[in-house]
Structure 1
């Protein structure tokens, strides 16, 4: 049990050495999981590049060698299927009542990392109360550089460029690590508070500058964690992001003046912070010929930006990447004044960048006001961000099912168009029959922008489901329709506000003048998934979904039995979180 002990100067010096050593160990030990991720990425890349099940030499003449090779392949396949099942399990949600706590893999990794940091916080502390108290603070401080590195929004982030981690995955890890840092920081503060109260020196301590800085640092981290909660983010994205940026910036000087022993971590964090902001600044370009309009019959804001034939946008932008848009001016406040939007075009063929957003309040309302003037305007774009290997991944799959809900189609449409073009330039070809796109929209008018962009052949494998006001859902549809309702659905971000009315139907069926296959209501996901997996059991299948969380959750539930049967599935879920 820890207690207050009197130490000699030599013992205090030894304690300081241990505090520094274990803080550095906590920091550098983070390289271990990162190197594991890097090694896994290299092995996966090598397997795809240099070996596949089709790269099999002629069967050996020796029955013994043939039997041995077959046995090894069977064992390898068993291991591979087990690994797929584990990865699939890690992708499932952990829910406590109505609250989503994150993916199982993130929670499992967070618990493991938290236990490791807890071990480093207590080992070799003996019964020294102050050693434990200081160690908790040192461990929390040692994680700050990694936390800011995970939050880095720049095309030059080493997490995406070196370790090949997806931005959405980085966000999940960032949130998990933030909670862990908060726990250790609170424990550090609580132990000091306990000592000050028992020693009757709390009031005098609260008048000292370094203590005030520590208290403000804890309050800043508390504000960051509270406003990062789903309910707050959804209620006011602008408030969340502003508080996040201000408090994260203020945290560094507060901790700097609080204690000098963790300043080495603060210098590292400051370097990462400055690098991130500098690269974001240089990744921003202002376009002076943007056209902004409201799509007729909708609340969708259409932002179109022509790019020159020789512009680098045609080579740098990949399907389904996103950017941060803002009106020009106030460059120092650009991070706070910008919003993320997905590019819905293929710049290489469309010669433009194309963004859509649902008009709510705040910045989108101001952009909508600009749209009413009918003239060109200037827009600042920071990006592109996001994985650039989507199209290559999909080409390695035998069959692909795209599912989009509302404005989630801005992510899916360019992938769908790119894949159709890569498979075959000719509409109606056999290879294109292996692709299907289900789009759930509230109004038919919300789909027409994609038809204009897609050109000939776009509607070939597209099925639209219109769910605007007008009719009720029959009893048999209610179970399948759960993917579009639920109070927690507001967690999907500012681009998906339309999902509230996705259960109500219009009396629409058949093929319209644009060649769209339009149906009323919602798709039968069970039937669609069964059809997807009804072909060859050895082919790899891809399911790409972007829309409300409940849509992705329902689709995942339908796919799950096939993964457990050993099917090779690439399930790509994208949501407009923050």
Structure 2
């Protein structure tokens, strides 16, 4: 099978149509988030009636094959990998939808769809680390769906590594390949010219930060032996977790800032991400304050 996508030079009408399709893709990607939240909420209500049976199974250690780690020592389960993988496939299919043989349309679609998911990633984050070291305090998405934060946090980790990162990296790689294969009258190759431009430098910086975030791992929880050494050991773990969280926020903030200046069409999603961060922080702060009063 030959590669079906070509470097197409669209007319002005085709450019307008491409932009409309990109915006429509982003809307569909975000509508699917709302639909998912509704489905999860309904599922949680139905699962509430079977809660006693589920707790009894967990007490006896009867975890299903889906609820076990993919490999020994891994934190996330097969179920979590499978669900995030299905979401990635849905977004990839949405990116390919109605692109025809237009290489740049596909390239832009991958980045556009990825940025539309950043607000969801932020709404799932355990923002209570800003105010305390309580990883179980609910995020905004936890409140919306009634899913405990301890269940949601692994999805937050996987969503960044398994969903957003491949889409953004794919977007960057396809664009760099286009630049490398396109000639330029003054610079020889378009790549030699574009890497000097501010918007491309912001894009490259965003991808570099993204890779850094992927490898910037959260400290593991203390083992039972370490936890019994006293309050100092527990406090040390908490301080390292909070240090990680502040570093993580700084990197994600720089990534969003770079994406904002990379392309004008990212402005809406990055401002949306800023709003999601503020709402998630307020909700987490409120739950921590309420817990202290209780």
Q: Offset of 1:6 from its aligned partner?
A: 1.5
Structure 1 residues 230 and 189: alpha-carbon distance in aligned structure 2, compared to 1, 3 A threshold: farther
Deviations 1:24-47 (A, max 9, x none): 1112212333222211222234x4
Q: Is the 8 A contact 2:142 2:149 kept in 1?
A: yes
Whether 1:33 and 2:36 are equivalent positions in the alignment is yes
Choose from 134, 158, 174 the match for 1:191. Answer: 174
The verdict on how the C-alpha distance between 1:34 and 1:282 changes in structure 2, with shifts beyond 3 A counting, is: closer
Are the counterparts in 1 of residues 218 and 241 from structure 2 also a CA contact under 8 Å? Answer: no
Contact 1:224–1:243 under 8 Å retained in 2: no
User: Is contact 2:37-2:145 (8 Å) kept?
Assistant: yes
Deviations 1:169-192 (A, max 9, x none): 211111111011010100000011
1:250 equivalenced with 2:262 (yes/no): no
| Correspondent of 1:214 among 188, 195, 203 | 203
Question: Which residue does the alignment assign to 1:563?
Answer: none
The answer (yes or no) to whether the contact 1:223–1:243 under 8 Å persists in 2 is: no
Structure showing greater radius of gyration is 1
Deviations 1:425-480 (A, max 9, x none): xxxxxxxxxxxxxxxxxxxxxxxxxxxxxxxxxxxxxxxxxxxxxxxxxxxxxxxx
Deviation at 1:201, TM superposition (A): 1.9
Structure with the largest fraction of strand: 1
* Segments of 4+ moved more than 4 angstroms: 236-239, 278-285, 312-315
Alignment of 1:1-12 (within 5 A): 1-12=4-15
Structure 1 residues 276 and 162 mapped into 2: Cα distance closer, same or farther (>3 Å)? closer
Cα–Cα, structure 1 residues 26 and 211, in superposed 2: closer, same or farther, change >3 Å? same
How many residues of Structure 1 are paired with residues of Structure 2 in the alignment?
Answer: 252
TM (normalized to structure 2)? 0.76
Q: Taking CA–CA contacts closer than 8 Å with sequence separation of 6 or more, which of the two structures ends up with the larger relative contact order?
A: 2
The correspondence of residues 306-321 of structure 1 with structure 2, limited to 5 A, is 316=294
Contact 2:110–2:171 (8 Å) recurs in 1: yes
Number of the residue aligned with 1:446: none
What does residue 24 of structure 1 align with?
27
C-alpha offsets along residues 332-375 of structure 1, whole Å, 9 cap, x if unaligned?
Answer: xxxxxxxxxxxxxxxxxxxxxxxxxxxxxxxxxxxxxxxxxxxx
Give structure 2 stretches of 5+ with no counterpart: 129-136, 183-188, 223-236
Match status 1:114 vs 2:88: yes
Q: State how far apart, in whole Å, the 1-side matches of 2:149 and 2:138 are.
A: 12
1:239: Cα distance to partner?
A: 6.1
Is 1:127–2:101 an aligned residue pair? yes
Would you say 1:145 and 2:116 are equivalent positions? no
- CA deviation string 1:257-288 (max 9, x = no partner): 11111322212111011233445566677xxx
Structure 1 spans left out of the alignment, 5+ residues: 54-80, 286-311, 317-578
Check 1:247–1:136 CA distance in 2 against 1; reply closer, same or farther (3 A cut): same
